[in-house]
Chain A
Amino acid sequence: MTHQTPHSTIGRRRVALIPMLIVLLALVIIASVAVGAVMLPLSRVMRALLQPTTPGVEATDAVIVWEIRFGRVLLAALIGAGLAVSGAALQGLFRNPLADPFVIGASSGAALGATLAIVTGVGPVSLAAFAGSLLAVAAAYSIAEIGGVVPATALLLAGAALNTFLSAIVSLVMLFNEQSTYAVLNWLLGGLSGRSWPQLRTSVPYMGVGLGVLWVLARPLDALAFGDETAQSLGLPLGWARIAIVAATSLTTAAAVAAGGTIGFVGLIAPHAARLLVGANHTCLIPASALLGALLLLLADDVARTVLAPLELPAGVLTAALGGPFFLYLLKTHQRILGARR
């Protein structure tokens, strides 16, 4: 047996994929800036990015690149990353490959908040969505709690019930407020139209905290994958770990839906794809999920604002359209790693 130096060889080859993903993301960000209703050749993009004040650079180029697109592209990457990491964390918490960031009520709560704000015209829609999201998760959590303990299954069920209930209320509100239907539907489909630096600035603090906390909780997530009892016998304070995971994911998800509406599929697919690339160890899985989620949403938004220009499709429609078949493909070819088959 070869004498191993006592440092980690744990997945070193796979960890090397992460810097590669970072580089890929940077390239896609730059490429995304070139793409849109107004197609800019890469040379004009680079000039607009690097020398915006040089005469000869089309004035609208610089405006489009700097004030609209760059902010939007970065926001797409951030939202994608946030949703993906939330999805990964909840899949780990619930030991369920079907979990996504919206599973404990975050989406329906946000939808209700946004709908009420749109219909009544009171307050900024994003703030209402943010608050609605957090309140719904808090409600699910307190419903599931029995004597200080929150069993994972109970939380999942409470979230599902809450989702159904709140969605019904949203439908009712829409029924009685026909003029708002279009606006509400547009919000529900999720997209980055008209979003840029202002939304980015508001989201970054919440996402940063949420993502940071979840990455730090990597080892507890690994232990939880073996079941509550194993985690307990390894000394994990179950109650605190659960609260931390739920709080961090709801903060991240709330910020994501406040900025971009309910964009589905990213939070479900990106973690699975990441698992295929770097394995199930959360210390690698979480950053990989973030990068893949960012890439997925970036690509979806690129297509959304280009394919029928100047019309802009909601990005959420595209994540589902692209993500669905991709996920089915993954399922067919890699069942064991996805946990669909032992």
Chain B
Amino acid sequence: MVEEIQSRLERVRQAVATLPQEKRVTVFYEVYDEPLMTVGRATIIGQLLEMAGGINVFADLGGRYPQVSSEEVVRRNPSCILGHTGHQLALTPAQISQRPGWSSMLAVKQHCIRLLNGDIVARPGPRLAEALEAITRALYPDLLP
């Protein structure tokens, strides 16, 4: 099974490698809404984002799940917003885009707000490959077969 996971990961990595730099998408990954939390590089999701070819707008922050201000997200203007659904997170893309000031964001204007399945993404484990594939498809819908 480990081999299966590794081969799936490898396939994604190769597909992502073909992406030219200017096509790379800036991402804001929302872990929680109140307080507004995102992922740092040292987390599984952070690494998955990198592997999927996304650029975490908050990659410069230390810590694992830093709290950030709404303003800062607006300023960093990501082209895509990702999050995951779960028990407490009954968020919809509509709710996110209605936040004060967010309507001007690239991600909202381009309708790139994708919520992934929390069961797959939020827990490390055997479904890691699934998670990576889900994130990659969210960022680059046409990249993977």
Contact = CB atoms under 8 A, between A and B. Distances in A.
Instruction: Assess A/B contact in the complex (Cβ within 8 A).
Output: yes
Contact of A194 (B70, B75, B87, B90): B70
Interface residues of B, number: 25
For chain A, the bracket of interface size reads: 20 to 34
Contact of B101 (A179, A186, A196): A196
Contacts of A193: 34-36, 67, 69-70
B34 A312 contact: no
- Chain B binding site: helix, strand, loop or mixed by DSSP? loop
Contacts of B77: 60
Contacts of B5: none
B100 interface: yes
A166 to B, nearest CB: 21
Contacts of B120: none
B119 interface: no
A147 interface: no
A311 B90 CA distance: 24
B42 interface: no
B71 A68 contact: yes
Contact of B70 (A68, A180, A186, A197): A68
B66 A194 contact: no
B134 to A, nearest CB: 21
Interface string B26-47: 0000001111100000000000
Interface of B: 32-36, 58, 61, 66-72, 74-75, 77, 87-88, 90, 99-101, 103-104
10 contacts: A37-B72, A68-B101, A118-B88, A121-B88, A125-B34, A186-B35, A198-B100, A309-B69, A310-B71, A312-B35
Across the A-B interface, the 7 shortest Cβ-Cβ residue pairs: A67-B101, A196-B100, A310-B72, A68-B101, A37-B69, A312-B69, A63-B104
